Structure 1
Amino acid sequence: MRGDFRHYYTDQTEAPERVKTATFRLKNGHSYSFKSPDGVFAFGKADRASLILIENCVLDGQENLLDLGCGYGPIGITLKLENPDVKLFMSDTNTRAVTFSKINARDFNLLADIRKGDLYDPWEGFRFDSILSNPPMAAGKAVWEKLICEAPKFLTENGRLQIVAYHNKGGSRLEGIMKTTFGNVITTTKSGGIRVYVSRKL
């Protein structure tokens, strides 16, 4: 399979042909580098939307945090490094992404529960205080609609779903589904067309 869809939402079980280092710097001056394989979203680069989510997500200290569709792990791992009291959970449908999330977590000597599976399938019976996602827009509406609509089942009371997207490239539709599903949604950040939408389970 060719094109962006492969990078977003297709299982890659074989070893990558190439691995590049993706590096980014936070506003506080902290820099992080990750091993990124081909066939996984944001290969060899720091994804701007993910960085905006990292910089602007709302965390309450010690909480259970799920990075859903984690790719090679930059969102969840960085947030755990910046917020050591967070208990980190990560998952992706792509075997290669999960493998490299585990490699990157190990390289940072970081404890995380990292699983392979489609959306919430690995997390039956779990409840999270925050679910974060830079969703796979190229995978189609059925995927990211399910990501939103099933989120309340996996959130604690007052738990938050936090999603980053380009507003004019599907983000406005995500915002509408979040409003319908949760009865509330706010935009916490706007930056160059990218927005972070947050809904709370009431």
Structure 2
Amino acid sequence: MTSGADHYFSSRPRAASRPGRVVLALDDVDREVVLRTDAGTFSPGGIDPGTRFLLDDGARPAPGPTTLVDVGCGYGPVTLALALRAPEATVWAVDVNARARELTRANADAAGVGARVRVAAPEDVPADLVVDGIWSNPPIRVGKAALHDLLATWLARRAPDAAAHLVVARNLGADSLARWLGEQGHTVTRRGSRRGYRLLDVAGPGDPG
């Protein structure tokens, strides 16, 4: 993250461009994908430990022609993992950061999945979009109120039996976030913990956990 008011969740990062590349390897996909990164995006020097935990131990997308979303996509590691693991799925990649969106679009095209990836700013997501699964390493540092609003918006877009799969650092409030989600009527299951991160599966009120 850059200093001052210029964060990875800024809509137009002011940090000077410093292009980089990281390798995305998945245990169930027989290929490695090189992702372009840049300054002013989340974890440009490498896939961060929380995202890596979500990719390694988090829920896998169901087969079939589903609609999935990566909320806070950054330069696209989770988006590409979903598209590669679910070859019939349409994957929405949503981020406020224009530089991150450009990278995700380029990375999806380079990986050959661009036709199934929809990259969008939050305000450009169709109001009637319904998703069959949410994956996110949410931007905790936007502040509690903004985070709660973000999650409430996306949880309301789930299909009846859909779940959200989140990774949150314990020292950034994973347990208090889980309690808040429970207070909103959601069923929260801790899938796993590793190196200070929590994997949370969130089912809606009345949905199976």
**Partners of 1:185 and 1:197 within 8 A in 2:** yes
Of 133-142 and 28-37, deviating more is 28-37
The aligned counterpart of 2:19 is: 19
> In the TM superposition, what are the counterparts of 1:1-202 in structure 2 within 5 Å?
2-3=2-3, 6-12=6-12, 17-28=17-28, 30-55=31-56, 56-62=58-64, 63-110=66-113, 111=115, 112-117=117-122, 122-201=125-204, 202=207
Moved more, 99-108 or 82-91: 82-91
Partner SS state of residue 154, structure 1: coil
More strand by share: 1
Secondary structure, in 3 states, of the residue corresponding to 1:7? coil
Residue type of the partner of 1:114? V
> Number of residues paired by the alignment?
200
Task: From the superposition, tell whether residues 4 and 141 of structure 1 become closer, same or farther in structure 2 (CA, over 3 Å).
Answer: farther
Q: What SS is found at the alignment partner of 2:70?
A: strand
Identity %: 23
- 2:21 & 2:80 partners in 1: Cα distance? 15
- Answer yes or no: is the 8 Å Cα contact 2:61–2:82 preserved in 1: no
Q: Which amino acid aligns with 2:54?
A: L
* CA-CA distance at 1:182 after TM superposition: 3.6
Q: Any stretches of 5+ residues in structure 2 without a counterpart?
A: none
Contact (CA 8 Å) 1:160, 1:200: kept in 2 or not? yes
Alpha-carbon distance in 1 for matches of 2:169, 2:157: 25
Question: Residues of 2 paired with 1:168 and 1:178: CA distance?
Answer: 17
1:73-114 CA-to-partner distances (Å, cap 9, x unmatched) read 110112211221222111110111111111101111212111
